[in-house]
């Protein structure tokens, strides 16, 4: 049975949010019981965990994700695949070996598991240009490419903003072009993967 | 010579700067630039780069998604005989074009390459 991909590791997500809160709460409790008069002990038990928690929430996730992305790339190379295309999306990294039809993926909220799968498991890949509004209000604030693996939809943004831009804006066109390219490469990898698997079964 | 002609020669690419007359368009061709992909655009001014990397194509649909294209125009001055190549580097996105750079070259190697591949 093939392993199903998991976009979010709930334990990691909850730990990421609540472990620093618990450590801060323990620090405050320690300060309350042991350093009620203030001083260095009070500063160490209240300020330090609070600052560390904020630093962790801001940088911790990105650092782990970046490290795991590097590990995925190394694993991909070590398994004998060539990285024809690597897309570093927001919260997702997609690696493709087009000739051998393999796809590697790493998720921000599930960095403990990186996946290297045959592209045949991709059921569908498409582009969402995020077009909305009409007339002079027509535009987009997000362009992404999407694909489904074992029925699970994965969305990777190629452009995202809190503003809406016209459809002929340079940023939107670049986003669409990147998404089109990725979809084309995924489909190509899928076709190669299917060809490789039929060759194997014939043998 | 009129000031407008001088102005046109200074501002328009298809006007000869020396003779201040409109040049004839003697060639036009579309090329793909596979060495340049979306997100990795570089405004290269070295004509040899284009000689080495331009790949002739017949229509825009032949260009894979995310690959830059280059529209080339050859102009010839009927008075002084000068030939100029205009290169427009753009990213084709579906039915639109995102122009990222344009250059005028008088480089003989590039002009020769473009004339040969017309």
Q: Which residues of A touch B40 (CB under 8 A)?
A: none
pLDDT of residue A92: 94
Four-CA torsion B39, B43, B44, B49, nearest 10 degrees:
40
Compute the nearest-CA separation of B66 from chain A (Å): 5
- Kindly determine whether residue B91 and residue A178, on different chains, have CB atoms separated by under 8 Å: no
Choose the mutation target among A96, A145, A176 for the interface with B, i.e. most B CBs under 10 Å: A176
Residue A139: name the closest of A148, A147, A130 by CA: A130
- Kindly determine whether residue A178 and residue B66, on different chains, have CB atoms separated by under 8 Å: yes
Q: How many CB atoms lie within 10 A of CB A192?
A: 19
pLDDT of residue A74: 95
pLDDT of residue B11: 72
**Chain B touched by A146 (CB under 8 Å):** no
pLDDT of residue A3: 76
Name the pLDDT band for B81 (thresholds 50, 70, 90): confident
- Kindly determine whether residue B91 and residue A173, on different chains, have CB atoms separated by under 8 Å: yes
Length of chain B: 118
Which ipTM score applies to this complex?
A: 0.82
Per-residue pLDDT of chain A in tens (203 residues, 90 and over written 9):
577 899 999 999 999 999 999 999 999 999 999 988 888 889 899 999 999 999 999 999 999 999 999 999 999 999 999 999 999 998 999 999 999 999 999 999 999 999 999 999 999 999 999 999 888 889 999 999 999 998 899 999 999 999 999 999 999 999 999 999 999 999 999 999 888 877 777 76
Strand intervals (E) in B1-118: 24-37, 55-56, 67-76, 83-93, 96-105
**Chain B touched by A177 (CB under 8 Å):** yes
Residue range B46-58: mean pLDDT, rounded: 93
Chain B residue set in contact with A, beta carbons under 8 Å = 37-39, 64-67, 91, 93-94, 96, 98
pLDDT of residue A196: 81
Residue range B87-91: mean pLDDT, rounded: 94
pLDDT of residue B1: 54
Nearest chain A residue to B65 by CA: give it.
A181
Decide: helix, strand or coil at residue A18: helix
pLDDT of residue B12: 77
- Kindly determine whether residue B93 and residue A181, on different chains, have CB atoms separated by under 8 Å: no
Compute the nearest-CA separation of A150 from chain B (Å): 26
Q: Which residues of A touch B38 (CB under 8 A)?
A: 174, 177-178, 181
pLDDT of residue B9: 65
């Amino acid at each position: 049975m093939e392993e199903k991909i998991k976009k979010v590791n709930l334990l990691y997500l909850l730990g990421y949010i609540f472990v620093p809160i618990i450590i801060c709460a323990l620090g405050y409790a320690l300060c309350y019981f042991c350093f009620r008069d203030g001083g260095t002990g009070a500063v160490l038990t209240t300020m330090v965990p609070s600052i560390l928690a904020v630093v962790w929430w801001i940088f911790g996730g990105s650092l782990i994700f970046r490290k795991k992305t590097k590990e995925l790339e190394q694993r991909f190379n070590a398994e004998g695949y060539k990285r024809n295309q690597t897309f570093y999306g927001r919260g997702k990294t997609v690696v493709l070996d087009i000739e051998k039809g393999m796809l590697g993926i790493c998720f921000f909220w599930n960095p403990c598991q990186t996946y290297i799968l045959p592209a045949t498991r991709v059921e569908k890949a498409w582009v969402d240009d995020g077009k909305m509004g009409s007339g002079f209000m027509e535009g987009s604030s997000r362009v992404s490419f999407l694909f489904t693996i074992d029925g699970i939809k994965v969305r990777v943004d190629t452009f995202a903003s809190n503003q809406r831009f016209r459809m002929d804006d340079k940023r939107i066109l670049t986003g669409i072009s990147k998404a089109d390219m990725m979809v084309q490469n995924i489909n190509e990898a899928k076709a190669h993967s299917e060809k490789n698997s039929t060759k194997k079964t014939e043998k | 010579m009129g000031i407008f002609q001088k102005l046109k020669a200074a501002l328009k690419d298809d006007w000869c700067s020396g003779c201040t007359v409109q040049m004839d368009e003697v060639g036009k061709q579309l090329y793909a630039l596979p060495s340049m992909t979306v997100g990795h655009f570089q405004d290269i001014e070295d004509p040899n780069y284009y000689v080495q990397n331009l790949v002739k194509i017949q229509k825009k649909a032949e260009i894979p998604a995310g690959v830059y294209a280059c529209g080339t125009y050859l102009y010839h001055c009927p008075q002084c005989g000068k030939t100029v190549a205009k290169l427009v580097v753009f990213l084709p996105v579906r039915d639109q074009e995102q122009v990222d750079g344009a250059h005028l070259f008088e480089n003989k190697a590039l002009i020769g390459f473009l004339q040969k591949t017309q």
